[in-house]
Structure 1
């Protein structure tokens, strides 16, 4: 990792490309048993690992166009990976992709299709997937990266796992992070477990996501891009998760504001939600080290969330509704011991 708890002098590294400089997170201790892995953009690991692996397999070649659907941070990561490897990039962008991200994509040379404004997450995702299918059908030079479904996106996180194992030695680690496509949390925990670490995995979901059965709820303020889904994702391996937290917008905002106020860390809403969940988990299991995955910075949430910081409740006053069945799930915050069980999104939400 670039930073450690003791600021010892080190040798400066000159990187060949910006992706090498930003892919590894900074580690920040939040409490005696909680550490934040703070990324500028987490999905650089996924994009670099996937592109490198696909090139090694001969699936993609220099000059080819990579295409995928994204709500933001994967789009930028894929554009940077394409820039590094001499590839073209086309993004079918969610309605949630902001102007700052879009202009970076354009300058990096990516071409963009952005979906029209919509408050319907399912409609937005279905439109994006349909558009990608149209593009690939008409352009044989395009390779669909399929970040939601191709397990190649797990590959890059092995490097992150090695860094975590070296920086946080010990055998009792709890990883707390947003589920999203599944590859970041799954790609981290799988190699940790394969190397014999006691790695507990706690996933964070928004209400309204089909991934872990909360699709019957609507969070009208939800703008937590990338942590849930209105359609099933094959890269989510439900049996990897030990626990789940479903968290609404206001609680995620409370976690993000508390992180900035208490630790001077400006991170996105998915990080805020994971921070809130990790605080609760760490209090219940103080003997374990809890690693919070901070996927991105807070810049794209500045106006819609951080500007409302006076509305954010004090996290110390919040606690989840503890459930044992999905039928008992309810906003604004629910927590459940998942127990590494399989699950089929879209099935009736009863006992599992």
Structure 2
């Protein structure tokens, strides 16, 4: 029996949606990393019960950290993106988390930079607060070890293609790391939006929106670029088609990043039929009812979509590009200096 709701929320489901195609479905994925990170900080004495944990978030990590703080008797201070919606604001308020939300902005880089600057201000005023640094601290890898063990147990020791959003690097990167420690032959396929510096697509704009949570306009310190074999870049319209098809065909109601990962996983599975593909569904589709699922009649048929193969990021183009990354190092714009926040 679980001792706290966060433990149940953080436990993923493994669903075989098609022959050789598996969905790793989370209700809220970052609960896994937040719970393990806070537990580790308490166990090592870096923080104590009652301390205040602070971080920046566009939404999902805010909820995850608030749950972890509730579980372990900590205070929670979130500097939130302009995209944090009413439902999440209300949940954070009832959970006792303090949310400072940035003013409206259409510039993602400005929104992220403002949030980091505000966190630094808070830390100067309250040096006893602990900055979780979800985008930079490898402590957020820890929670995925148990998930990797479960994948290993249920899918076997054969070759596997792991597909999912890159984000802060503490999900697909961590899962591949722990699976490889178990000698699993893993191909790691990262999914990125256009406009993200992480794998060099900042020069390509998506006319709709940047897919939240899988890319960034600022460098992230815990993305291990050398772990990735292949990268797919998908625009909003392609990800929408994937999300709608996943619900219509397999009854899996998941977010926009999942739709992108599902498309990429279908393609990788077709390219290498002998390798099962597992894609990560990081959250449910509730945040996207209006912006994605309400537009389901506009969705393209996934059978009509295919990636454009590119040999360098200067060749990237909408709506879908694929490139063999082959463990290359971070692009210059994605490199993190010693003062990263």
Calculate the aligned-residue CA RMSD, in Å: 1.2
* 251-260 vs 222-231, greater mean Cα deviation: 222-231
Does 2:86 correspond to 1:68? Answer: no
Does 2:185 correspond to 1:184? Answer: no
Give CA-to-partner distance per residue, 1:190-239, whole Å, 9 cap, x none: 01101110011000000000000000111131152111100000011100
CA distance in 1, matches of 2:79, 2:131: 11
The 5 Å alignment of 1:165-176 reads: 165-176=152-163
Do 1:96 and 1:225's aligned partners in 2 also have CA atoms closer than 8 Å? no
Aligned to 1:285: 272
Does 2:251 correspond to 1:264? Answer: yes
Do 1:154 and 1:183's aligned partners in 2 also have CA atoms closer than 8 Å? yes
Aligned to 1:78: 65
Does 2:26 correspond to 1:39? Answer: yes
Do 1:180 and 1:228's aligned partners in 2 also have CA atoms closer than 8 Å? yes
Do 2:204 and 2:316's aligned partners in 1 also have CA atoms closer than 8 Å? no
Do 2:193 and 2:210's aligned partners in 1 also have CA atoms closer than 8 Å? no
Displacement of 1:151: 0.7
SS at match of 1:163: helix
Aligned to 2:199: 212
Which one of the candidate residues 252, 255, 258 is aligned to 2:239?
A: 252
CA distance in 2, matches of 1:36, 1:347: 29
SS at match of 1:231: coil
Displacement of 1:171: 2.1
Do 1:212 and 1:345's aligned partners in 2 also have CA atoms closer than 8 Å? no
SS at match of 1:183: coil
* 295-304 vs 220-229, greater mean Cα deviation: 220-229
Aligned to 2:324: 337
Does 2:78 correspond to 1:102? Answer: no
CA distance in 2, matches of 1:311, 1:137: 49
Over 3 Å counting, the alpha-carbon distance change for 1:347 and 1:20 in structure 2 is closer
TM-score normalised over the length of structure 2: 0.96
Q: How many residues align?
A: 335
Does 2:305 correspond to 1:318? Answer: yes
CA distance in 1, matches of 2:319, 2:210: 15
Do 1:232 and 1:345's aligned partners in 2 also have CA atoms closer than 8 Å? no
Aligned to 1:129: 116
CA distance in 1, matches of 2:146, 2:204: 37
* Structure 1 gap ranges (5+): 1-13
Displacement of 1:170: 2.5
Aligned to 1:197: 184
SS at match of 1:252: helix
Give CA-to-partner distance per residue, 1:275-334, whole Å, 9 cap, x none: 011111100011111111000001111111111111110010000000111111111100
SS at match of 1:181: coil
